[in-house]
Amino acid sequence: MMPERNSHNLLSYAQKKEKLHGIRKVLFAARHPILEAAIKLGNREHEEALSESEAKYRSIFQNNHTIMLLVDLEKWSIADANPAACAFYGYSKEDLVGKSISEINPLNRKELSENLEEAMRKPRSKFYFSHRISDGRMRDVEVHTGPIVIGGKQLLYSIIHDVTEQKRIEGMIKRQSDSSALRAEIWSAVWSDRNLSENELIKNVLNRLGNFTNADTIVFFRIERKTGNAVAELEWGRNGIEESKAGKILPGFVIEGQHGKKAIDISSNDIFEKDGSKDLDKIMKSYLLIPYGDPENPEGYFAFGERLGKRLWERNDRNLLNEMARILFARIEQIGLEESLHQHEKLESLGRLAGGIAHDFNNMLTGIIGYADLLKVKENQNPEVCEYAGFISTAAKRMASLTQKLLAFARKGKYNIQTIDASGIIDEVVSVLEKGIANKNIRIIKRFAAADSHIEGDDSLVYNALLNLGLNARDAMPQGGEITYETMNMNLKDADNAFGLAAGDYLVITVRDNGTGMDEETRKKAFEPFFTTKALGKGIGLGLASVYGTVKSHHGHVEIISRVGKGTAVEICFPLSGNVSLQKQEASSAPIQGHGTVMVVDDEPLVRDTVADLLEASGYNPHKFGNGTEAIMFYEENWKSIDFVILDMQMPGLNGRACFRELKEINPAVKAMLITGYSQDDEAAAAMKDGMIGYLAKPFNVEILIDTIRKSIGDGK
């Protein structure tokens, strides 16, 4: 093959030869002897010149260090190759000559044909290709080509320069520039708008990563907690982002992990093919997997899909994509913490409000129920009045159940803390649901995997919380479905965990349904009191609020996991059994009449008067006080004649517990009990340790009050 200047001379010479051939034909036709001799002489000179030119060409072609090929367009094959070409492509001359162009140039036949036609039309053309060498690697080449006639045959000459290293350096420089730009874009995308959801942030990042990597597709997979599978959520392609089809599972190896089956082993952060193998010749797609979250226990993966042979994933690409995933996850974590803090503060504020309302409400209900009971005692000979008083008392007690839900949310309710078996409570709840759910298309399943299900708690509150969750699950499945109660044990070794719980052993109870599910906005508001998605008259929005309060009051954690159309799972964590013990006050069957002097200390006049009147009607001599200071002064002078003291927990100045301590300084044997609009279990437990007889939450049953006094002091002096 000849350099460009020699190819031009060859063309000129060929044209001259053609002209001489025409002249020769004319002269031979004329049969002129002198002319015939001249033509023969010219032919010899021409042949000698041609022979000399071809010899020069051959020498240049064979001895040139530049890669040179001659291409036969009729056969679509290599007609000749110089030693430099053989060395570059890694073949012997015998193997290289005759090889199809397609074996070296991976372009499809249509694109390759268009390029060859263009080369034939112009004296000189330049192209950039990727050529495959003998070991399968691709090399970037710059090709200078044009038509040439050799031995009367039309060929294409190709002068080839290996520009792989040049392209690599140029690409590296460009990638560094692009990487810096990508970092800035991703940072801006995830931090500039503080109101975007996790889904929206991931979409923003997918768009930018897709354009940067030039991948064919990017799929975002999230790890399912229950199955350990990586299920596709979002898929980026050249036509934009779309929700992935349900059930699409990330291809790859399935291994056993700490939380059950993991989707794939990416410890090497390597490329995996569609079936998990590494045979690049058999698989149409390869995936570079980037973990989302902790690499040891990721929340999900970004899978970058690509046609084989298009490009390789370099280490710098992987490092950059890992960095981008970490930036995104850090932002999502911060959003979660901000939302959690905001939600916590909001619920705490609502809790204080609910607790305050319930406290005042219970004070009023104490007066209503107390005087209704007193009316029944005073008018026991008048059935009609007693009946009306009973209606008043029943209605007030129903109202009291509403305040108990508010107090449960506020975590300031009446607690009977004891060691309880949560599995047994679940059995009771399921039994009630099976009998009470009218929809026969709903099936209730129990899956108990917990080796230990004993917790410290109030069995009635835990029962109501689990029942509420079952009823909510029922309402989410009007066409039928499954409600599942699951238990498992969990150990938290580190107090700094995602649940905000102390280190230790826990019971995890999950109530799961396959109903309508919730959108993200509804899920965030689900624990707020009076928030409901049910129709008017179907619910007041205190069910989940009371569940939240019950769990928090038991030093646990509750979380809702839900997607529209996929159902809902509510996960509750309770600490396994501890040592707190508060026993429930039960009414006795003994007569309610008694004798003795009782001090009633409460800052609420209605409660103070109600309790005093009930005591007086039951045979006791009551003394009323509006604050702790007055009570202490009276007790200091009259303690020998005082048989019993009733103290309100929450009072201005000295509260009930502080007042009791002062009374004990006067008389260590003082007998007293608490009555309160609300009281947390730790406050009540502390008061009991101080020596109090017990406590009652307002509104209380008068029989229990009198029975407690009688058991403490007998029939009086």
What average pLDDT does range 417-427 have in this prediction?
85
Q: Could you read off the pLDDT of 336-394 as tens digits, one per residue?
A: 666 666 666 666 666 666 666 767 777 888 888 888 888 887 887 788 888 888 778 77
Q: How far apart are alpha carbons 395 and 399 in whole angstroms?
A: 6
Predicted pLDDT at 86 = 94
Predicted pLDDT at 255 = 30
Helix pair 656-666, 628-638: axis angle to 10 deg: 20
Q: How far is CA 410 from CA 224, 264, 552, in A?
A: 32, 44, 9
Listed ranges 3-7, 301-305, 494-498, 583-587; the one with the highest mean pLDDT: 301-305
DSSP 651: -
Helices (H), 411-491: 422-436, 459-475
Which residue, among 403, 411, 401, has the nearest Cα to 352 in the 3D structure?
Answer: 411
For 557, the token pair is: 């954690």
For 36, the token pair is: 């015939």
Q: How far is CA 529 from CA 174, 241, 253, 348, 414, in A?
A: 56, 37, 45, 11, 19
Predicted pLDDT at 539 = 46
Q: Poorest-confidence range of 102-106, 181-185, 687-691?
A: 181-185
Q: How far apart are alpha carbons 84 and 623 in whole angstroms?
A: 116
Q: Could you read off the pLDDT of 530-589 as tens digits, one per residue?
A: 555 554 444 444 567 778 878 888 888 888 888 888 899 999 999 998 543 334 444 433
Q: Determine the number of helices (DSSP H) and then strands (DSSP E) in the chain.
A: 19, 25
Coil, strand or helix: which one is 643?
coil
Q: Could you read off the pLDDT of 212-252 as tens digits, one per residue?
A: 676 777 777 777 665 666 677 777 776 677 665 544 554 44
Q: Which amino acid is it at 280?
A: L
Q: Could you read off the pLDDT of 115-133 as tens digits, one per residue?
A: 888 888 888 999 999 999 9
Q: Poorest-confidence range of 136-145, 198-207, 436-445?
A: 198-207
Query: Who wins on pLDDT, 194 or 701?
Result: 701
Quickly state the pLDDT bin for 189 (edges 50, 70, 90). Answer: low
Listed in sequence order, the residues at least 6 apart from 635 whose beta carbon sits closer than 8 Å to its beta carbon are 599, 642, 645, 663, 666, 667, 670
Quickly state the pLDDT bin for 171 (edges 50, 70, 90). Answer: confident
Size (the chain), residues = 717
Q: How far apart are alpha carbons 331 and 194 in whole angstroms?
A: 10
Q: How buried is residue 238: exposed, middle or buried, by Cβ count under 10 Å (0-12/13-18/19+)? A: exposed
Task: List 290's β-bridge partners, or say none.
Answer: 302
Predicted pLDDT at 327 = 75
Does 141 have pLDDT greater than 90? yes
Does 503 have pLDDT greater than 80? yes
By DSSP bridging, strand 138-150 and strand 125-132 are antiparallel
Listed in sequence order, the residues at least 6 apart from 293 whose beta carbon sits closer than 8 Å to its beta carbon are 299, 300, 329
For 167, the token pair is: 């392209």
Helix pair 315-378, 198-213: axis angle to 10 deg: 170
Q: Could you read off the pLDDT of 13-67 as tens digits, one per residue?
A: 555 556 555 555 554 444 455 545 555 555 566 566 666 666 667 777 888 889 9
Query: DSSP secondary structure string, 167-187?
Result: HHHHHHHHHHHHHHHHHHHHH
Does 405 have pLDDT greater than 80? no
What average pLDDT does range 168-194 have in this prediction?
69
By DSSP bridging, strand 672-676 and strand 695-697 are parallel
**Cα Rg for the chain, rounded, in angstroms?**
45
Q: How far is CA 201 from CA 244, 284, 367, 463, in A?
A: 17, 30, 56, 40
Predicted pLDDT at 634 = 95
Which pTM was predicted? 0.41
CA 695 to chain CA centroid, Å, is 44
Listed ranges 1-15, 456-470, 645-659, 694-708; the one with the highest mean pLDDT: 645-659
Q: How far apart are alpha carbons 339 and 344 in whole angstroms?
A: 8
Q: Which amino acid is it at 147?
A: P
Task: List 251's β-bridge partners, or say none.
Answer: none
Residue for token digits 């990597």?
213
Quickly state the pLDDT bin for 431 (edges 50, 70, 90). Answer: confident
DSSP 282: T
Does 448 have pLDDT greater than 70? yes
Q: How far apart are alpha carbons 302 and 230 in whole angstroms?
A: 10
What average pLDDT does range 75-82 have in this prediction?
91
Phi, psi (deg, nearest 5) at residue 164: -60, -50
Q: Could you read off the pLDDT of 507-531 as tens digits, one per residue?
A: 999 999 998 888 887 887 777 765 5
Which residue, among 680, 604, 601, 704, has the nearest Cα to 364 in the 3D structure?
Answer: 604
Query: DSSP secondary structure string, 584-599?
Result: PP---SS-S----EEE
For 109, the token pair is: 């036949």
What average pLDDT does range 609-623 have in this prediction?
90
